[in-house]
Amino acid sequence: MYKVMIIDDEKSIRNLLKVVIKWEEYNSYVAGEAQSGIEAINIIDDIQPDIVFVDIRMPFMDGIEFSKIAMKRYPKLKIIILTAYNDFEYARECIGIGISDYMLKPIVKADIQENLATLVKELDARPIPDIKKDNVEEEQGNPHIMNIKNYIQENYNNSQMNLTAIAQYFNFNPSYLSRMFKAEAGISMIDYITKIRMEKAIECAKEGVLMYKTAKMVGIPDPNYFGKCFKKYTDYGYTDYVKNVRRE
């Protein structure tokens, strides 16, 4: 069954959504609720919903800001914005960040049913390999760590990439992310970044790329520091490694 999360600072709205819909008819159930965007962000990792109904106007963190953060963590998440404002600018911003749809308050049962049926149909239509992949990822470990690993592998050439920058990008506390990454990956994030960079550097060395060029290409613009990292990782100086490869 699909997991639904309801986020609204009005308890009456949350309760209404929970009771007015026969969720089981849509192969869904309400797995969690929150009264603010901040609270929702703190518990979304525990719930890992498939569908979210979120109010656009809430104190401290509004629905759009929440949606941007949530979709960065869960790109396949389906989000319905609830708003009392029939405003084109809001609608355009919602569509621009990938939100599935938005509904006007006061909420109409038929509108909820129509939107829910559409979202469930979209979820059901996912290719079987994608569904299997999601299940494997859940079994193998924290999906956030997999997303972060992918991010590192795609951005290793950015010299500004570090724990703090990654934590900010994924909206995590740096200390918490550091502990979580090491617990899940079995290696510190800094060591993982270095590992990815050195593997790419080895590929460059095998092609005979000059050291200073390789250093820049893998995000370590200081050749001296790059040289130390490379030797620590391979037990060879960069130039010696290139020579050995050519001999082979």
Weakest mean pLDDT among 15-24, 44-53, 88-97, 224-233: 88-97
The Cα 102–Cα 186 span in angstroms is: 41
The Cα 202–Cα 44 span in angstroms is: 39
Distance set, CA 222 to CA 37, 132, 212, 226 (Å)? 42, 43, 8, 6
Q: What would you measure as the largest C-alpha separation in the chain, in angstroms? A: 75
| 165-205 confidence digits (pLDDT tens) | 898 898 888 888 888 888 888 888 999 999 999 999 999 99
Residue 141 has pLDDT above 60, yes or no: no
Residue 3 has pLDDT above 60, yes or no: yes
Phi first, then psi: give them for residue 171, nearest 5 degrees. 60, 50
Question: If 0-12 CB within 10 Å is exposed, 13-18 middle and 19+ buried, where does residue 12 land?
Answer: exposed
Domain ranges of the chain: 2-133, 143-247
- Which segments of the chain are extended strands (E)? 2-7, 28-34, 51-55, 78-83, 101-104
Per-residue confidence (pLDDT) for residue 137, from 0 to 100: 47
* 214 CB neighbour count, 10 Å cutoff: 24
Per-residue confidence (pLDDT) for residue 218, from 0 to 100: 95
Helix axes 238-247, 223-234, angle to 10 degrees: 50
Residue whose entry in the numeric block shows the structure tokens 């859940």: 138
Question: What is the token pair recorded at 56?
Answer: 């656009």
Per-residue confidence (pLDDT) for residue 138, from 0 to 100: 47
Q: What top-level class would CATH report for the domain 143-247? A: mainly alpha
Residue 127 has pLDDT above 90, yes or no: no
CATH classification for the domain delimited by 2-133, as one of 3.30.565.10, 3.40.50.970, 3.40.140.10, 3.40.50.2300:
3.40.50.2300
Per-residue confidence (pLDDT) for residue 176, from 0 to 100: 83
Picking from 127, 76, 68, the residue whose alpha carbon sits closest to that of residue 96 is 68
- Record the pTM: 0.54
